[in-house]
Structure 1
Amino acid sequence: MIAARDCVLILLAAGRSARFGPQNKLGADLLGLPVGLHVVTALEDIPFRARLAISGGGALDFSTRGYTVIQNDQQDLGMSESVKLGVARAREMEAAAVLIVLADMPRVTAAHIGRLLDAADSSDAVVASSDGREPKPPVLFGRDRFDALLSLTGDRGARDLIRAGHHVVTSPAELIDIDTPEDLERLRRAVHATGRFCTSDPTDPDDWETSR
């Protein structure tokens, strides 16, 4: 395993939200909290070496939640530019690994992040999340993968690395990301219909647990 204290958390929050419309999706309300602060809140008690937020500006100031904010002024170059900004700073901090999390995935839990850290068994580890069908973020990269991450281009990002890595399966609902207003509205309706948070299959009432 890789200890959280040796790992730098990189929160990617610089997307242009083109499919969401004029509003910045990370600032949109979900259960009384902005979409972009759900994962921040879920992971706030994990003792990472450092927390970096790669931001394109917008509705949220992650510095108030303990993050060092790094501005991405080249969002048109794709997600890889945000990844490179975070990894370069993590390397300066002599991190053993980075954990890359997307700010538009509001259902990610600390328990799942713990499983990713536990599954990282070497300095060249690549440990991705999976919904049982395909790998996706959050994903952990050991320091021997930093050179590869720093050479990425475009929006494909680290997909090939992720596909070839170790995959930790969790419930599909935990890995929901918000790309469109319709995605957000479906999640709102599901929660309001039951008064509960979905932890597995959002269509199965047996997979809902009472909200705190």
Structure 2
Amino acid sequence: MNRTGLLLAAGTSRRFGVADKLLAPLDGRPLVAHAAQAMQMTALDRHIAVIANPELRPYLDGFEIVEIQPGAQSDSLRAGLQAAGETDRLLIALADMPRVTSELLDMVVAAATDDRPAACHDLGPPMPPACFPRGWLIRLAELTGDQGAGRLIRDLPAEALVNARGLLTDIDTVSDLAKMKKTAR
């Protein structure tokens, strides 16, 4: 079985300010390095990262890099799908979720079946990281706008959802990053 990891790291960071949030330091490393390391440590055959900022490249060692112009989330997803080509499982993770672990990613891949995806939940609706089987990739390719894969995973049954145990915090603003730094102490 061919399993591919897709790290989406091409957002515009509009709510973060002028700086690229993925380069902001957290625990002594850029934000993107946390998500990249978690994905590199998973039981996957390939690792692909979609980026818009070439300054992220040094933190994505071992990834196939797809560089795009900043745009909608679905643009990043389609670029990653094209790079992935034929794969049996596609694990999608977001680069602004630094607390996601390789163990969580492996659990999401294991929860996916040939017939349905798997995703995470954490006191809310299903969300990435999510893993999609080959038969669902065409549905991902048809998505438009900034909603990403959320609409495809929102009605998953309980057995397709992995409890993320508080690991799904994402960083959208400088304030989010400050809160994360404060809780890590």
Task: Tell me the distance in 1 between the aligned counterparts of 2:37 and 2:91.
Answer: 16
Task: Tell me the distance in 2 between the aligned counterparts of 1:190 and 1:58.
Answer: 30
Q: Which residue matches 2:75?
A: 81
Query: 1:49·1:95 contact (CA, 8 Å) conserved in 2?
Result: no
**Identity fraction in percent:** 35
Query: 1:53·1:62 contact (CA, 8 Å) conserved in 2?
Result: no
Task: Tell me the distance in 1 between the aligned counterparts of 2:104 and 2:60.
Answer: 24
Pick aligned residue for 2:142 from 151, 154, 159: 151
Task: Tell me the distance in 2 between the aligned counterparts of 1:156 and 1:121.
Answer: 23
Task: Tell me the distance in 1 between the aligned counterparts of 2:55 and 2:173.
Answer: 17
Query: 2:8·2:50 contact (CA, 8 Å) conserved in 1?
Result: yes
Q: Which residue matches 1:69?
A: 65
Residue correspondence of structure 1 range 83-122 to structure 2 within 5 A: 83-91=77-85, 94-122=86-114
Q: Which residue matches 2:3?
A: 7
> In the TM superposition, what is the alpha-carbon distance from 1:180 to its structure 2 partner?
0.2
Q: Which residue matches 1:178?
A: 171
User: Structure 1 regions of 5+ residues with no counterpart?
Assistant: 193-212
Query: 2:23·2:31 contact (CA, 8 Å) conserved in 1?
Result: yes
Q: 1:139-159 deviations in whole A, cap 9, x for unaligned?
A: 001010111111111001222
Q: Which residue matches 1:33?
A: 29
Task: Tell me the distance in 2 between the aligned counterparts of 1:87 and 1:64.
Answer: 18
Query: 1:102·1:138 contact (CA, 8 Å) conserved in 2?
Result: yes
Question: If the length of structure 2 is used for normalisation, what is the TM-score?
Answer: 0.92
Task: Tell me the distance in 2 between the aligned counterparts of 1:7 and 1:62.
Answer: 24
Question: If the length of structure 1 is used for normalisation, what is the TM-score?
Answer: 0.81
Task: Tell me the distance in 2 between the aligned counterparts of 1:97 and 1:21.
Answer: 35
> In the TM superposition, what is the alpha-carbon distance from 1:191 to its structure 2 partner?
1.4
Please give the secondary structure, in 1, of the residue aligned with 2:53: coil
Q: Which residue matches 1:23?
A: 19
1:128 and 2:106 equivalent?
no
Task: Tell me the distance in 2 between the aligned counterparts of 1:163 and 1:28.
Answer: 30
Q: 1:24-54 deviations in whole A, cap 9, x for unaligned?
A: 1000000101001101122322242211110
- Specify whether residues 84 and 64 from structure 1 end up closer, same or farther in structure 2 by C-alpha distance, changes over 3 A only: closer
Query: 1:24·1:58 contact (CA, 8 Å) conserved in 2?
Result: no
Give the greater-gyration-radius structure (CA).
Answer: 1
Segments of 4+ moved more than 6 angstroms: none
Aligned length: 182
Q: 1:166-211 deviations in whole A, cap 9, x for unaligned?
A: 2211212x0000000000001111112xxxxxxxxxxxxxxxxxxx
Structure number with higher relative contact order (C-alpha < 8 Å, ≥ 6 residues apart)? 2
> In the TM superposition, what is the alpha-carbon distance from 1:121 to its structure 2 partner?
2.1
